[in-house]
Structure 1
Amino acid sequence: MVREAAGIALGLLSLHYWPTLPPYSVVMIAVVTGSLVSAYLRERLLICIVFGVVLANYSAVAYLDDVETVAAERGDITIIGEVRSLINHNIPNTLFEIVTIDDSSAGGSLPAGLRLHLRWGAGTFAGDTQQPMPDIKLGEHWQFTLRLKPPYGRVNSAGYDRERDAVGKGIHGVGVILDAVQLDTPVGWHDHLRQTMYQQAIAMTRDLPFGAYLLALGFGERTALTDQDWQLLRDSGLAHLMAISGLHIGLAVVIGWRLGGMLRGVAINLYYLTWLPLWCGLLLGGGYAWLAGFTVPTIRALLMSVVILLLMRLRIGWPRWQVLLVAFAACLMINPLASYTAGFWLSFTAVAIIMFAGVGGVGRQEQPSAVNHGWQSLLFSIWGAVRQLFVMQLALLLLMLPVQWLWFGGFAWLAPLVNLLAVPWVSLLTVPMVLLAVGLSWWPALSGLGWWAADLSLKPVMWLAGLAQGAWLPLTGDMAGGLLGLAVLACLIWLLPVRRYAALLVSGALIVLALMPFDGPTSGSGEREVEEGPAPVFIDMLDVGHGLAVLISTGQGAVLYDTGNAWPGGSIASAVIEPVLRQRGYERLDGLILSHGDSDHAGGAEYLIRHFSPSWMRSSDHRDGFSSCVRGETWLWQGLEFRALWPPKRVRRAANPHSCVIALGYANAPPFMLLTGDIDAISELLLARLEPDLTPEILTVPHHGSLTSSSRTWLTAMRPEVALVSAARFNPWRLPNPEIRRRYVAMGSQWLSTADHGQISITRVGNEMEIVRYRQDIRPGWFRPRPSRVGENPKTD
């Protein structure tokens, strides 16, 4: 069983190493060859690996076929779908998930089984009248008129990867609803029951201080949590606790097992009642997982519970790691693409660490001596339990560091202390009361009392979490070796006798210290002395969708040109720019330049000023705290010269023609880059007269490649080698314009668009230049959309 599970898991995980999917013929040849070799060698492991590879390929091909079906749609389409999300209409959240239904008679135009994320927001119209979002409920069938596109996201060196997450969740498309009509189709009893219980919980927790957390614990729905709530959970390390996680499923199974044992004890002595604890445990655990919609952590916990309970009932002894391995392989077989989600790896890694810690030392504690009686024995038992919990949390903190760095770029250093108190408190008090409140939904008075008691129990937990606010430590990219060394060192300390291997442990600690980047990037505060010879300059056009953000850094400081867009509750500054800066070790910005006042260029300015305190700031309009950025001004920063070429004077509010144009180069040398903002053709022609000798090698394409800019006269005089354009692939303006792209390519410029390549990073040392495209060179994947062709963009939001 162990070898088979390991082989299947290896075959399924091989999908992560495929930049492209192999053709069907290649897969079949590999299957036949592998089967023959396995039969000849009588090696079951190889057969299982081949089976895993085939299953992975089939799942990936099926997913891509469905995504291409969505991508083939153009303009407004009509589909029939079943709602698969619990929706809280008391919060401003208009995102929900549907599964398409093949009902061509009702006007559907997509095949059945596609999972779509839809948004009902501003701009949703029925005819000429804007309508609010209707009371959409789980399990209902609706006819939607919408604009659809494949799941396409931003790809940067840090931050959320929407495309990878969509693969793991099986999302085939996203869309904006234009109109919707409910169909007269009966809702399944299970969906109706879950929706009814959820609505009742919303009504009962609406006025409770921690109602959003209770909904997360009761139904796994965390849409009511605000950005401040998420930051609090992140800093305290409690994000895993405020949801229906594997820990809570296991707790529900244990409660059910105990209740079943009690019922069996008072019932008549019948043979089939010997299985009652198992069925009660699985019933309560499965019901709790059903409330959460059977997410990956709940499925993992259920599978492990089934295996463990069956082994206990059949009196079969398996090592704990074997149970975990079988559950790991089973989860991948159920959903071969689940390994593309962070929850999958966090869940299994945490359980593996807990098992490892229990075998390696957490569970090993001295027993009370015979002379200890009464209160002494009780105190010893309490101390042992507290010690065990603390060391377990410490093990999770240290050994989860590499995983935390890979997925989140940091860790909460106070998490062990907070979880030491919060985990047993929430598990033993809050969760049982939440289960009781949900189970008593048919009795509103008692259910409301349960919700009130659960909310009261969270008060000390959230007070404790508030004390840890700000305890999040970002991890830079060059700390990878040190993190891995620290995890290995922790394992050595855990498993080896410390005194006997003291020299080895000291050596390991020295190695870790040597790997840690103590002289890493720091933030500067303005002009610095220029070292001999040209220093390397790192230019990153970040993938911000429709907008602009260019990061200029030297390894000793960073300057940002534009900040990307902002929206209610979030911004590109927090979603993209901050993770990239934290990853590189920058706690502050040396400089911030705003080209003009449009939101897609300056929307994140306030956030960055508040969190990164730029030493100097410049703009072409009048802003508090900003110096002017107008023609004739020049300043130096770490051996680089910034020369403002446009506009001729400062304005009250800078629009596109007033964009601050910056020529960037080494001090006392011709500029090698031109930052253009959104200047128009008239500004370009005036600038060409003022700067006839301007020939930058790198040019940011003005106004995202619009026809209103990049005039032929201006470009012919410059002929840049590299043209960088920041644009979203599926934007309503269909930018960049195909004619503009052909214009640059015709004059020999290398066209690089964030829509096709994600973040574009250029390293320049003297006259040498190296270009890295993150979609193709750093984070390739079979699920990444191919580069767009001219005129390919559909008209969609």
Structure 2
Amino acid sequence: MNTSAAGVAIGLLSLHLWLALPTYHGFITALMIGSVVCFYSKWRLLIYIAIGACLANLAATSYLKNVQLTFIEPRNITIVGEVSSLLNRKKLDTLFDFVTSELRQPDFRLSKKLRLRLSWQNQTNMPVMKQGERWQLQVRLRPPHGRVNSAGYDRERQFVGKGIHGVGVVTGGVRLASGQHSLAGLRQMAFDRALEYTDELNHQGYLLALGFGFRGALEAQDWGLLRDSGLAHLMAISGLHIGLAIMLGWWGGGVLRNLFGDWPHAIWLPLWVGLTTGGVYAWLAGFTLPTQRALLMSSVVLLLLRFRVVWPSWQVLLLVFTVSLALDPLASYNAGFWLSFAAVAVIAMAHVGGVRFEESSEMKLHQRWLGKWRALLLLQLSLLVLMLPVQWLWFGGFSPWAPLVLAAIVFSSVEQLAMVCWQMANMTLSPVLWIAEWARGGWWVLADSAGRWVLAASAMSVLLWLLPLRRFAALLTVLSMVVMLWNQPAVIQGTQMAETDDKPTSHDPFVSIKNREPWQIDLLDVGHGLAVLISTQNRSVLYDTGNRWPEGSIAHSVIEPVLKQRGQTSLDGLILSHADSDHAAGADYLVEVFDPDWKRSSDFREGYQACVRGEKWQWYSLRFRVLWPPKQVARAANPHSCVVEVKQGVGGSMANDTSLLLTGDIDAISELLLARLEPNLSPDILLVPHHGSRSSSTVTWLDQMGWFDRMDPKYALVSVARFNPWGLPSSDVQQRYLDRGVNWLSTAELGQVSLHINGEEVDVVRYRQDRKAAWFRPATSQE
């Protein structure tokens, strides 16, 4: 069983190892042929690996075929299906999940089950929807898409883990049937009652998250508190809660068994009542990944216990891990899957390693309590250290107060009893959240450079645990030295760096520089908007901040993770091209979090210097020169965008190296005037004005009025959202650049674009293709 489960698990995880489906299919074919040969040579492990790989390939192929159905019709399409997500009728939320049963068009009708994430286009006339209801909707469908950056939230990966086949906008719909008599409808009814009972409670959002896995009632400050305090699993039912529910059911079943006396079938009551209780709780949570894992593992353990079969804990964990992957191979793309199994694996390892309380009759009372606290402390320490690699990317925790929430749901039909239970649950959360408030703002962000230390700390902890220091002192010493010296620069490199240590800063602009340093341009994928990072010596200047919305901003979800991934906790400079929200809406947040040394804008802002023609400043080996606008205004619109040339140079001299031109959203008139003022302007890297709109990038601008050689950039950077409603960039504008032989680099197609510059050499990195390529990323040809 061990070999077969391990082999199937390895095969199922092969989805993470092969990125392109053609290569993946070739591997599958070769593996299946090789497995037949290995069968006759008694290499059974490869047989199971082949089985797992085939299951993974089947899941990936099925997912992609369903995603391709969202390309059937670019116009409105009629779908019929069922609402599959809980909806809060007291809070306006246009986003919901929908499972189709039929796709309809005048010329075709297709019965197909697709899982879609939809939103209503018209919020004012949005009808009240409930889980389990059957609807006929008119929608515009798109494949799953999201921003792709070096750090931050990966929406496309999450869609794969949740099995979302498409996204869409609902333009109209009609309810076909209510869901009152379905299981989903019953869950919605229980949720509606809980909304009423908890309406006056100050911790309603947390209670609904614990009781139903519903996160929509948690505000931004709640998420920050959960993250900083390490209680992030309060946002949903975790595996521990399922275990507590099953234990409660097992105890209740034992009481019933005693009441039935010698009835032979009563011996099964603890098992069935326990599993039923856990199943109901998992159903209330929507059968999320942690609840599925906990329910499956509890079932295996209870069955083994009932039939008096003894398995080691790692064997149970391996079986459940394999079965969970076999049921849903794409679950491995969900963070909850790894958090759940990693935590259980650490607990099992700790138990094998001796972290457990052994009680004897000879022990005194204080010795027993000290032993219990010691075991608990060691277990928590084990979780802290060994979960570090997982928590480097995700954060987790659990709440011990879930049984009270479960009781409140069970007694929801008895109003007075339910109110008492909800009140008690709310009261027990108060001290927990009060203590958690002390940790607000204490979240430690680990940069990429610290990743190896995280892995090393976990690895060394395991080695010290399993290998006694007295017997393996030499081995552990050598391994420690390897960890300390891993990826450290050579001594000669350190000497060379010391020679160029006299770098000028923004406060000392005209100090001579012996050697020009490499620098980097990052056009971040921010959807419709703009954010450009200019970096050297692991310091950065930001040009524009992207947009914001009621629940967050680009500054928080994209710019902050990218900077902190690099270990940068402050900005040297911030430039705002103009005042439009898609360019400057995140300025206040970034000023608060990263405290830039200097700030510039083309309109009058408190604390900002002018960004107008004639302004020049030095930053390390880079020289900034403002070309437009001629003066500051009260509120800078598109024509007043701050146009900045960036090039290596010292004092008044400019090196003959790669240059960058940042253009904001200047329009045709601004381009014409700028062409007259700067007839020699010919940057190597050009930020395409106004996201490639027809209002900019005129022929006059690109040809520089024919007085000198036309503007001949090597690279054109365009920041634009995928499937944006304005049809940006314009195909005519794009063709205008392509006809001039310019390399067109669009965030809609490539995700984040990074250009590493060393003198005249430019190395381009496209994150969607080069760094985060994956089989589930939508192909450009299909857009």
Looking at structure 2, the residues matched to 313 and 38 of structure 1 have their Cα atoms a distance apart, in angstroms, of: 38
**1:265 aligns to what SS in structure 2?**
helix
Distance 1:642 1:731 in 2: 32
**3-state SS of paired residue (2:533):** strand
- Measure the CA separation in 1 of the matches of 2:715 and 2:438: 50
1:185/1:203 CA distance change after superposition, 3 Å: closer
Aligned partner of 2:229 in structure 1 is 236
Structure 1 equivalent of residue 36 of structure 2: 36
1:337 aligned residue (311, 330, 345): 330
Shift of 1:685: 1.6
Matches within 5 A, 1:601-640: 601-640=583-622
Partner in structure 1 of residue 82 of structure 2: 82
Distance between the aligned counterparts of 2:50 and 2:757, measured in 1? 45
Residue aligned with 1:154, SS:
coil
Q: 2:461 maps to what in 1?
A: 490
3-state DSSP class of the match of 1:622?
A: coil
Counterpart AA for 1:330: V
Aligned match of 1:570 in 552, 559, 575?
552
Distance in structure 2 (CA, Å) of the matches to 1:23 and 1:466:
50
Task: Tell me the distance in 1 between the aligned counterparts of 2:416 and 2:488.
Answer: 59
| Kept after mapping to 1: 8 A contact 2:257/2:267 | yes
1:773 to 1:523, Cα distance in 2 relative to 1, 3 A: farther
Partners of 1:24 and 1:10 in 2: how far apart?
A: 15
What does residue range 198-209 of structure 1 map to in structure 2 within 5 Å? Answer: 198-209=191-202
Aligned partner letter, 1:64: L
Amino acid in the other structure paired with 2:623: E
Structure 1 position 655 matched with structure 2 position 637: yes
Q: Does 1:778 align with 2:760?
A: no
**Which residue of 669, 684, 708 corresponds with 1:697?**
684
Do the aligned residues in 1 keep the contact of 2:539 with 2:568 (CA within 8 Å)? yes
Distance change in 2, residues 1:366/1:4 (3 Å)? closer
The answer to whether the Cα contact below 8 Å between 2:144 and 2:164 also exists between their aligned partners in 1 is yes
Alpha-carbon offset, residue 184 of structure 1: 3.3
Q: Deviation string for 1:305-329 (max 9, x for gaps)?
A: 1111111111111111111111111
Are 1:634 and 1:644, in contact at CA under 8 Å, matched by a contact in 2? yes
Aligned to 2:355: 362
TM-score normalised over the length of structure 2:
0.93
Moved more, 13-22 or 385-394: 385-394
Q: Is the 8 A contact 1:523 1:557 kept in 2?
A: no
Partner residue, 2:295:
302
For the pair 1:466 / 2:437, whether they are aligned, the reply is yes
**1:108 Cα shift?**
9.4
Q: Does 1:554 align with 2:536?
A: yes
Out of 636, 654, 664, the residue aligned to residue 677 of structure 1 is 664
2:84 and 2:132 in contact (8 A); partners too: yes
Report 1:131-280 matches (<5 A): 131=125, 133-184=126-177, 187-280=180-273
Amino acid at match of 2:445: P
* Cα shift at 1:596: 0.6
Cα deviation digits, residues 614-665 of structure 1 (max 9, x gap): 1100010111111110000001111111100001111111111110000001
Aligned CA distance change for structure 1 residues 629 and 26 (closer, same or farther; 3 Å) = same
The 5 Å alignment of 1:404-483 reads 404-405=391-392, 407-408=393-394, 426-427=399-400, 430-483=401-454
Is 2:627 the partner of 1:645? Answer: yes
1:183 partner SS: strand
Residues 198 and 219, structure 1, Cα contact 8 Å, conserved in 2: yes
> What's 2:52 paired with?
52
What displacement does 1:513 show?
4.8
Per-residue Cα deviation, 1:561-595 (whole angstroms, up to 9, x for no partner): 00011111210000100000110011111100000
Quote the Cα distance in structure 2 between the aligned partners of 1:523 and 1:159.
31
Give yes or no for contact 1:398–1:487 (8 Å, CA) kept in 2: yes
Task: State how many pairs are aligned.
Answer: 761
Shift in alpha-carbon separation, 1:152–1:25, aligned structure 2, 3 A: closer
Going from structure 1 to structure 2, the CA distance change for 1:108 and 1:436 (only over 3 Å counts) comes to farther
Partner of 1:384: 371
Residue 116 of structure 1, CA deviation:
0.6
- CA-CA distance at 1:706 after TM superposition: 0.8
Say whether the 8 Å CA contact 1:560–1:591 is kept in structure 2.
yes
Task: In structure 1, give the amino acid aligned to 2:367.
Answer: F
Match of 1:400 in 2: 387
- Report the residue type matching 1:332 in the other structure: L
Q: Give the drift of 1:695.
A: 1.5
Deviates more, 1:101-110 or 1:763-772: 101-110
| 1:442-477 C-alpha deviation (Å, 9 max, x unpaired) | 111101100000000111100111111112111111
2:706 match: none
Deviations 1:680-730 (A, max 9, x none): 111112111111111111011111111111112222321100011111111
Residue 723 (1) aligns with residue 716 (2): yes
CA distance in 2, matches of 1:563, 1:523: 26
1 CA distance for matches of 2:471 and 2:26? 54
CA distance in 2, matches of 1:2, 1:432: 35
CA shift, 1:508, in A, is 4.9
Q: Report the 3-state secondary structure (helix = DSSP H, G, I; strand = E; otherwise coil) of the residue aligned with 2:171.
A: strand
Q: Which amino acid aligns with 2:669?
A: I
Q: CA deviation at 1:501?
A: 4.8
The change in CA–CA distance for 1:252 and 1:188 in structure 2 (over 3 A counts) is same
| Change over 3 Å in CA distance of 1:585–1:324 after alignment to 2 | same
Alignment of 1:99 with 2:99, yes or no, is yes
Q: Is the 8 A contact 1:101 1:108 kept in 2?
A: no
Matches of 1:339 and 1:57, distance apart in 2? 13
Contact 2:77 2:104 survives alignment (8 Å)? no
Deviations 1:327-383 (A, max 9, x none): 1110111111110111111111111111111211322x565683x4xxxx3332222
Q: Is the 8 A contact 2:32 2:50 kept in 1?
A: no
Asked whether the equivalents of residues 523 and 587 of structure 1 are also in contact (C-alpha less than 8 Å), the reply is no
The alignment-based identity, stated in percent, is 54
3-state DSSP class of the match of 2:444?
strand
Name the CA distance, whole Å, in 2 between partners of 1:708 and 1:219.
Answer: 50
Asked whether the equivalents of residues 602 and 642 of structure 2 are also in contact (C-alpha less than 8 Å), the reply is: yes
**Correspondences of 1:728-747 after superposition (within 5 Å):** 728-747=721-740
- CA deviations 1:391-440 (Å, max 9, x no partner) are 222222211222222x34xx6xxx9xxx7xxx6xx42xx22211111111
Instruction: Give the SS at the match of 1:327.
Output: helix
Q: TM-score scaled to structure 1, two decimals? A: 0.91
Report the residue type matching 2:543 in the other structure. Answer: Y
8 Å CA contact 1:401–1:487 kept in 2: the answer is yes
Give the residue type in structure 1 aligned to 2:66: D
Cα distance in structure 2, aligned partners of 1:439 and 1:620: 61
Aligned to 1:795: none
Query: Structure 2 CA distance, aligned partners of 1:523 and 1:214?
Result: 54
User: Can you give the 5+ residue segments of structure 1 that lack an aligned partner in the other structure?
Assistant: 125-129, 793-797
Separation in 1, partners of 2:544, 2:153: 20
Q: What value does the CA root-mean-square deviation take over the aligned residues?
A: 2.5
Work out the CA distance in 2 between the residues paired with 1:244 and 1:510.
42
Counterpart secondary structure, 2:323: helix
Could you tell me which runs of 5 or more consecutive residues in structure 2 were left unpaired when the two chains were aligned: 704-709
- Whole-angstrom distance in 2 between the partners of 1:320 and 1:525: 59
- 8 Å contact kept, 1:697–1:721: yes
